Structure 1
Amino acid sequence: MTVQFINAKRAAELIEDHTTVAIDGFIGFCLADDILGEIEERFKKEGHPRELSVVNVAGLGGDGKDRGINHFAHKGLMRRFLCSNLSLAPKLYPLIMDNAFPTFMIPQGVLSHMMRAIASRKPGVISQVGMKTFVDPRIDGGRINEAARESGDTIVELIRLHEEDYLFYPAFPLDVAIIKGSTADTKGNISMEKEALHLEQMEMAAAARNSGGIVMVQVDQVVEYGEIHPQKVVVPSTLVDYVITGKPENTGQHFIGDCRPIPSWCGDEKIPLDHIEPLPFDIHKVICRRSILQLHAGDFINLGIGISMGVSEVLNEEGLIEAISSSIESGVTGGVPAPGIATGAAYNPEAILKQPDIFDFYDGGGIDFAALGAAEIDRHGNVNVSKFAGKVTGPGGFINITQGAKTVCFLGTFTAGKSDIRIEDGRLRIIQDGPYIKFKKDVEHITFSGHYSREKGTQTVLYITERAVFQLTEGGLTLIEIAPGIDLEEDILGKMEFRPLISPDLKVMEERLFRPQLLGLKL
């Protein structure tokens, strides 16, 4: 089939009812928002396409308001939803909680690898990623709402190979793939030179093509055939059916702020890293500082969103950013990870790899050190970041990262909610504590399994807060350090739903963490 150049409205008209549609993107990056917006407009006017089975690998929040998967927040548009993360899709939450359609979640790395499995017509993905978490069929089987439980659909099975348990995620055909590139030539070859990330566009396109489906690509511009260097072609024309040139407001590198591209994110320029503002001196900085005491020179690391993003800023401030190799599950390595909803990109990246490639390395144990957030922690060392306080955020790449890393640090404040906790003269002073307890007897959702980590016996796992540091031991959660100025019974044990084990060698956290001066740390 010769590639056709059409507009986004026509692309939306080509999507039939009851089809399986895969959408690529990472938050607001590599997002074909012109096409998604026209699908929404067509549904609102015509009631079609309807009853779609929608798959997206990473979170598709766009700007966290109206873009990305938020376009699909209409009852009847979806009949089934499979994803890894919904942290920036507020319009979908009510529909999911009201059981408008069955919703399933599996790890981001598994979904990324699933595109390869579908493309090569393998039966699915076999992995231990997700074992003993909510994804495990012995727990929830990745089912997020009651509609998923009542659907009878099975998205993951427990199998046994060579005397070991594995999870099997069955493959499924794709009818439509919607992906994003920077440039198309007049034959339909696609490059991504202006994108901050390279995800699984090639794999998703091949999966749809080998399923007998169609591939739609939104781009920023079209050039003459031959103008794209073959080394830069990410998706060849043979896998492309339709090319859509996006409107300036609905295409581009990202959808953050004024949407102007950041040249250093795609490698077009390097910026002085000393121009990056240091973190303010507060309890969040103390938490990040304590985590880097676990680092070694040359470590390959991954940082999650939230407080843990500040680890890169502390390393940069201490002049240590080049002593380690940072990475993001989007496939970006090196540089300083971008904060907030720019998560996924990095200033001055060393390499921009494909997402399934980086997950291969993660799943095989390539991460030396990972720092991630924690919404709830329990006596067994389990961590919940995927479902809490009435919200379903999903795991994203959290399960892949935490199961594969050699050292895992879960970073977060000890309590949640509005608080007034000050650092005075090298000591912590609690004026008003957060009203919500985060250390639960049992977490609501298991996103990291303390049981599975202990069974493997290959990880060092720490839980770092501003006032206490815990470690996962054979007996469960064990308190190993407390902050200077903190009362053990009143400020720690009295704010937990259970009594942890207490190390006989209980220490006071290093006072230099609570001083505004640089740590002067050498890895």
Structure 2
Amino acid sequence: MSKHITPAEAAALIPDGAVVTVSSSSGLGCPDLMLKAIGERFDTTGHPQNITTLHPIAAGDMSGIKGVDYIARKGLLARIIGGSYPSGPSSSEPPVIWQMIGNDDIPAYNIPSGILFDMHREAAAKRPGVLTKVGLDTFVDPAREGCAMNAKAAAEPVVKKVEFEGEEWLYFKAIVPQVAIIRATTADERGNLTYEHEGAYLGGLDQALAARNNGGIIIAQVKRITKSGSLKPHDVRVPGMLVDYVVVDPDQKQTTLTDYDPAISGEIFRPLETFRVPEFNIQKVIARRVAQELQGGSCVNLGFGISANVPRILLEEGLHGAVTWVIEQGAVGGVPLLDFAFGCASNADAYMPSPYQFTYFQGAGFDASLLSFLEIGSDGSVNVSKLSFRPHVTAGAGGFVDITARAKKIVFSGMFNAGAKLSVADGKLVIEKEGKLKKLVEAVEHVTFSGPRSVAQGQEITYITERCVLKLTPDGIMLTEIAPGIELQTHILDQSEFPLIVSDKLKVMDAALFGEALIGLSLPEKPARTLTGAQHG
């Protein structure tokens, strides 16, 4: 018997007060039609009321895929828990969900994506919750915000600090969903799901298990339905025994602003010459210097921002394949995409389900992470998750906290100041007008990465800007390199709210970074892996 029903029929199955988990990453894999149907049902009937929604990565992107904004209604939504939230340019109207969060209409939480997936797995196995050190001394820690995004959330904590086996841990109680809404490409008549046009598997299987094992229902949105028995068993990522209902949206987008690109789903491989390489500008200078931190043969995580261009630097320099890129949505290898398609990769080697990718990150199985910063504090802490004057632009932390918790090496990149007018002439950096907003501040507004905890763990931390390179040391932040054309006192020391340690071996950054020609990048090989003792915590 077919499990196919209409979106309206599926929306009618969601009871008042339900906990609903939604699988998506911004526009990637978003069951947009299903979320729209829930909002339309509420507008017509006033139900479902007071639901809690869980979004381990994010739902919707405000660029043609509204996602969570369809259900951002007073009376419909009672509480929301997300790894991140839709964002938009500062000139646009904030997403409705951000207005609800900012107005304190509902409790809203930003829990790291990996921890949210862990909470689902604990619920599926009927275990009490998650014990983790991920998030200690960051906004996740109850000693700070405890993941709360507003006053209503602060009054209803979702995390507490506990002692276990003589150590300090964070404890997140498992959350049991009554409904899971997931997405795939194809369902057969029995509800078996395949993902052949998707850019990632995300966490649909784990979310379905959490609902099924606790007596809930699973609704799958797909592009098409096929005859029972026509799918190859090895291609099925979510078996039909876990799927109760199937909704069809033949027009579902593959990801943000992308109807369908077979290279994103690994069905074809694009010729390397078809990938756009960055035009020469200040951001490219920074990305080039970040690339110089890499080793051949390493596995490197990428975050959004300037660092997302680093794979294109290697491509341009003839080094594609020297590094394996890993991103939180699950792609391994290939060429990570930019802008609205970030989170996808073309020509990938493999796709891992997001929960397992986060296990890889949380346990520091990878070699380095390339991430961005909004602010750097005097203690080395980094903020990427909150700026009070631009709240709907900073979308939350996503997997940032999971990734940085134990990473062996992290390279943060960004502009030294905000709003500076810069140019390059004769291989030198020229500051035409200084920025009005300093990004090296005494204390960051929101601690997404803890400098003191990093020092205690012995992590290697580098901050790269257009005008200098900085390193985190036990004694503070040390200036190790300066761009050609930059005046140390005026352009760097005076532009930081706190004193910098100037290395007695201060170097000038490679002048080749500041020219349009290739820089002749070469990567030292990563040392061969040897057996190390098991480490926990």
Q: Is 1:229 matched with 2:229?
A: no
Is the contact between residue 63 and residue 256 of structure 2 (CA under 8 Å) also seen in structure 1? no
**Mean alpha-carbon deviation: is it higher for 59-68 or for 303-312?**
59-68
Alignment partners' CA distance in 1, 2:2 and 2:443 = 54
Is the contact between residue 59 and residue 67 of structure 2 (CA under 8 Å) also seen in structure 1? yes
Q: Structure 1 stretches of 5 or more lacking a match?
A: none
* Aligned residue in 2 for 1:215: 218
Q: CA offsets per residue over residues 479-505 of structure 1, 9 Å max, x none?
A: 111111011111112222112222222
* Aligned residue in 1 for 2:282: 283
State the shift of 1:78 in Å.
1.0
* Aligned residue in 1 for 2:400: 398
State the secondary structure of the residue aligned to 1:434.
coil
* Aligned residue in 2 for 1:384: 383
* Aligned residue in 1 for 2:52: 53
State the shift of 1:434 in Å.
2.5
Letter in 2 for 1:404: R
Number of aligned pairs? 514
Alignment partners' CA distance in 2, 1:437 and 1:139 = 23
TM-score (norm 1): 0.96
* Match for residue 116 of structure 1 among 90, 115, 121: 121
Letter in 2 for 1:111: L
* Aligned residue in 2 for 1:103: 108
State the shift of 1:136 in Å.
0.6
* Aligned residue in 2 for 1:422: 423
State the shift of 1:61 in Å.
2.3
Spell out the pairing of 1:73-472 with structure 2 (5 A cutoff): 73-88=72-87, 90-150=95-155, 153-248=156-251, 251-256=252-257, 259-388=258-387, 389-391=389-391, 392-417=394-419, 419-457=420-458, 459-472=459-472
Alignment partners' CA distance in 1, 2:487 and 2:35 = 53
State the secondary structure of the residue aligned to 2:4.
strand
TM-score (norm 2): 0.93
Q: CA offsets per residue over residues 411-436 of structure 1, 9 Å max, x none?
A: 1001113x421111110001123221
CA RMSD of aligned residues (A): 1.4
Alignment partners' CA distance in 2, 1:412 and 1:454 = 21
Alignment partners' CA distance in 2, 1:368 and 1:305 = 18
Q: CA offsets per residue over residues 103-130 of structure 1, 9 Å max, x none?
A: 1111111112222111111111221111
Is the contact between residue 302 and residue 370 of structure 1 (CA under 8 Å) also seen in structure 2? yes
Letter in 2 for 1:517: A
Q: CA offsets per residue over residues 493-518 of structure 1, 9 Å max, x none?
A: 22221122222222211111112111
Q: Cα distance 1:65–1:143, how it changes in 2: closer, same or farther (>3 A)? A: farther
Alignment partners' CA distance in 2, 1:233 and 1:271 = 25
State the shift of 1:3 in Å.
6.1
Letter in 1 for 2:111: I
State the secondary structure of the residue aligned to 2:321.
helix
State the shift of 1:161 in Å.
2.8
Letter in 1 for 2:505: D
State the secondary structure of the residue aligned to 2:74.
coil
Q: Is 1:501 matched with 2:501?
A: yes
Q: Cα distance 1:265–1:276, how it changes in 2: closer, same or farther (>3 A)? A: same
State the secondary structure of the residue aligned to 1:4.
coil
Q: CA offsets per residue over residues 382-410 of structure 1, 9 Å max, x none?
A: 00011113415211011111223211011
Is the contact between residue 97 and residue 145 of structure 1 (CA under 8 Å) also seen in structure 2? yes
Is the contact between residue 418 and residue 435 of structure 2 (CA under 8 Å) also seen in structure 1? yes
Alignment partners' CA distance in 2, 1:253 and 1:402 = 29
State the secondary structure of the residue aligned to 2:405.
helix
Is the contact between residue 118 and residue 171 of structure 1 (CA under 8 Å) also seen in structure 2? yes
Instruction: Name segments (4+ residues, structure 1) moved above 4 Å.
Output: none
Q: CA offsets per residue over residues 96-155 of structure 1, 9 Å max, x none?
A: 0100000111111111222211111111122111111010111111111011123xx221
State the shift of 1:225 in Å.
0.7
Alignment partners' CA distance in 2, 1:225 and 1:277 = 42
Is the contact between residue 222 and residue 250 of structure 2 (CA under 8 Å) also seen in structure 1? no
Alignment partners' CA distance in 2, 1:16 and 1:88 = 29
Q: CA offsets per residue over residues 263-291 of structure 1, 9 Å max, x none?
A: 11111101111221211111101111111
Is the contact between residue 382 and residue 444 of structure 2 (CA under 8 Å) also seen in structure 1? yes
**Mean alpha-carbon deviation: is it higher for 436-445 or for 489-498?**
489-498
Q: CA offsets per residue over residues 333-370 of structure 1, 9 Å max, x none?
A: 00110101211110100001100111111111112111
Alignment partners' CA distance in 1, 2:425 and 2:384 = 31
Q: Cα distance 1:237–1:3, how it changes in 2: closer, same or farther (>3 A)? A: farther
Letter in 1 for 2:384: V
State the shift of 1:64 in Å.
3.8
Give the share of equivalent positions with the same residue, in percent: 38
